[in-house]
Amino acid sequence: MLKYIIPLVLFIIMAVFLGLGLTLNPSEIPSPFINKPTPNFSAPKLNAPQEKLTPADLKGQVWLFNVWASWCVSCRSEHPVLNDLAKLNAVTIIGLNYKDDPVDAKKWLDTLGNPYNISIMDQEGRIGIDYGVYGVPETFVIDKKGVIRYKQTGPVTVVDLQKTLIPLLDKLQAEPQ
């Protein structure tokens, strides 16, 4: 009897582990930034390169930091969702135009709409490294104190908006400064 039970038990254990493995997404890497202050930057604005933006300018407001580029295919599917979010006026949306040509970037915003309050340029990808960006698009949610509270790798979908982002933004907007 034991002869049959042992392999059966081993099989079940293996099946459970492999089953769990199937549901995980190996390209999703836990971000070491959650609940840490935003890394600093001082970057030129896309529409006014002589002006610079730093995280300190955004203290006191909840903001979304969305990494995008005109060469990024999945950003195109994400873009209408961001446009919808912008219409809600629920949050300040800052774009990090990552390793992009400013001309292409502006053309992209002109044709597809501009959900960003401000976009900044990171042509060399240095701000990207400081934020641990490895797959565009990425989205960070930053609270009023300048602390990163959430990060999503990959395009934000309508479901993500409804299930995760909007409830989180509501909660953060209610927090004191």
Partner 1 sequence: MKRLIFILILLSGSCYAVDSRQLSDPKQQESYETLTKELRCLVCQNQTIADSNAELASDLRRQVSEMLAQGKSKEEIVQFMTDRYGDFVLYKPAFKGKTLLLWIAPIAFLVIGLIAVLLVIRSKKAKEKLTSDTEALQSDTEKQKKIRSLLDNGEVS
Residues that bind partner 1 (CB under 8 A): 26-27, 29-32, 99, 124-126, 128-135
Q: Is 117 helix (H, G, I), strand (E, B) or coil?
A: coil
Q: How far is the CB of 175 from partner 1 (least distance, A)?
A: 26
Q: How far is the CB of 94 from partner 1 (least distance, A)?
A: 19
Those residues whose C-beta lies under 8 Å from the C-beta of residue 56, and which sit 6 or more positions away, are 146
Those residues whose C-beta lies under 8 Å from the C-beta of residue 46, and which sit 6 or more positions away, are 95, 97, 102, 105, 106, 109, 118, 119, 120, 121
- Name the nearest CA neighbour of 69 among 19, 147, 127: 127
* Nearer CB in complex with partner 1: 86/141: 141
* Nearer CB in complex with partner 1: 9/29: 29
CA 177 to the chain's CA centroid: 23
* Nearer CB in complex with partner 1: 31/164: 31
Q: How far is the CB of 135 from partner 1 (least distance, A)?
A: 7
* Nearer CB in complex with partner 1: 98/116: 98
Q: How far is the CB of 23 from partner 1 (least distance, A)?
A: 18
